[in-house]
Amino acid sequence: NSGSTVKDVAEYLGVPIPEIIKKLMTLGEMATLTQTLADEAIQVIADEFDKEIEIVHAADDVDIEPTYDDAAEDLVERPPVVTIMGHVDHGKTSLLDAVRETEVTAGEAGGITQHIGAYQVHHNGKAITFLDTPGHQAFTAMRARGAKVTDIVVLVVAADDGVKPQTEEAIDHARAADVPIVVAVNKIDKEGADPTRVRTELTQRDLQPAEWGGEIEYVDVSAKTKQNLEDLLETIQVVADLEELKANPNVEASGHVIESKLDPGRGPVVTLLIDRGTLKIGDAVVAGADWGKVRALVDYKGDRVKEAHPGDPVEVLGFDGVPEAGEFFHVVESDKRARVLAAERANRLKTESIARRSGRKVSLEDVFT
Ligand code: GDP
Ligand code: MG
């Protein structure tokens, strides 16, 4: 089911459309042909007509995340979005910090970066976006929502420790998400560092190094001494180029929630990652069961900006609540529409949770109020 309408349901059940509409009316519900029905409503109708059905979702919430079909000439190159994964203590946080500092010393960003869940660095004059939430939990949460927010996984493996359980887990995650892997062999400054052993161990996991005739790029780095960080950025860009990451910037923005929090002073603060389009001050936005009118946009450096473009992370003020990480967001034509869509989603979530809790049959009254 991906947003089945009255017409879809009629076809699927093999019941004439007027019968469905009549049934909905006797249940106190006025419905139109193209109206989308919630799963529970479809179930109630199926029961009324004594039909056995099974409602299947391709992925959680996939019904609210459309796929866009932009013409090739409207597409423009966008920055890759990179997630750093790897075993605990292998240097994910250190590497994220070290990479971030390459920007400050290069004098391009200037100032101190603030934590908004993602940041950007520039290499060869082009941006790379790093998700600042290392670890598998965030990645798994996003994936569970069907959100594809990462273009490249940087797999950090400590050269003095080698492949460990969470290294393998990270490989599994990247493969499940069909995201290319770049291996950063970290801590090469340490005594006992053995980058070749890391390559051998990972070759056994089908990550053959390019320098050995395989497909995977390896970069030996040290987050501590900052060795080879530019090489890592260069390699990320090479891999990104092969992916041909593009987006249409000239449409209303959509993308995903990276993180959100309730700030005592500023209210809900929501970091969005733009997948497509341009987000502007004054835009009406829906993210899951929450909506907002963009009051202010703040970039990863803490600067106020007027717009955010594809591949950019941006902090948004003006939401009515704190949507969960991984939620899809999109700009709609008006505040009113945003409010309606968010309320519909809230209702659906409420009904689903009532149904789950009580295990009872859900009536149309639950579904439509
Ligand atoms: P995480 O758990 O993967 O985020 O790992 P951390 O970034 O917290 O690093 C774990 C430990 O390894 C810390 O004590 C770091 O200082 C140290 N560390 C990280 N990278 C390097 C490196 O390149 N060289 C050395 N010598 N130590 C490092
Ligand atoms: Mg860490």
d(CA 337, CA 347): 15
Contact between 120 and 82 (Cβ < 8 Å): no
Establish whether residue 223 lines the binding site of ligand 1, counting it when its CB lies within 6 angstroms of any ligand atom: yes
What does the pLDDT read at residue 20? 87
d(CA 310, CA 246): 8
Residue-wise pLDDT for 27-42, tens only, equals 777 778 777 887 778 8
Tally the C-alpha atoms within 13 A of residue 102's C-alpha that lie toward its C-beta.
Answer: 27
* DSSP sequence for 321-356: S-PPTT-EEEEES-HHHHHHHHHHHHHHHHHHHHHH
Of 151, 153, 163, whose CA–CA distance to 90 is shortest? 163
Reading the block at residue 341, the tokens are 């869509």
Contact between 29 and 368 (Cβ < 8 Å): yes
* pLDDT, mean of residues 200-209: 98
What does the pLDDT read at residue 361? 53
Establish whether residue 91 lines the binding site of ligand 1, counting it when its CB lies within 6 angstroms of any ligand atom: yes
Ion ligand 2: residue ranges with CB closer than 5 A = 92-93
- Which is more confidently placed, 49 or 110? 49
Q: How far is the CA of 104 from the centre of ligand 1 (A)?
A: 20
d(CA 203, CA 177): 20
**Is 53 annotated as contributing to ligand binding?**
no
What does the pLDDT read at residue 350? 80
Residue-wise pLDDT for 84-109, tens only, equals 999 999 999 999 999 999 886 555 55
| Dihedral sign (CA 122, 126, 127, 128) | negative
Q: How far is the CA of 124 from the centre of ligand 2 (A)?
A: 28
Please state, rounded to an integer, the average pLDDT across all residues of the chain: 87
Residue 265 pLDDT greater than 80, yes or no: yes
**Is 67 annotated as contributing to ligand binding?**
no
Backbone angles phi, psi at 76, to 5 degrees: -130, 145
Ligand 1, residue 87: give the atom nearest the CA. Answer: 3
Residue 60 pLDDT greater than 70, yes or no: no
Across 78-211, the runs of DSSP E, i.e. the strands, are 81-86, 118-123, 126-131, 152-158, 181-186
Q: How far is the CA of 262 from the centre of ligand 2 (A)?
A: 23
Residue-wise pLDDT for 6-24, tens only, equals 888 888 888 888 888 888 8
What one-character DSSP code corresponds to residue 4? -
Alpha helices in 177-228 (DSSP H): 195-203
- Which is more confidently placed, 305 or 49? 305
**Is 206 annotated as contributing to ligand binding?**
no
- What is the pTM (predicted TM-score) of this model? 0.79
- Which is more confidently placed, 368 or 270? 270
Contact between 314 and 305 (Cβ < 8 Å): yes
Ligand nearest to C-alpha 154: 1
pLDDT bin (cut points 50, 70, 90) of residue 143 is: low
Residue 62 pLDDT greater than 50, yes or no: no
Total number of residues shown for the chain: 369
d(CA 76, CA 329): 21
Residue-wise pLDDT for 162-179, tens only, equals 999 999 999 998 998 899
Contact between 129 and 79 (Cβ < 8 Å): yes
Please report, rounded to a whole number, the percentage of residues in the chain having pLDDT higher than 90.
63
d(CA 360, CA 352): 11
Residue-wise pLDDT for 225-262, tens only, equals 999 999 999 999 999 999 999 999 999 999 999 989 99
Residue-wise pLDDT for 221-230, tens only, equals 999 999 999 9
pLDDT bin (cut points 50, 70, 90) of residue 63 is: very low
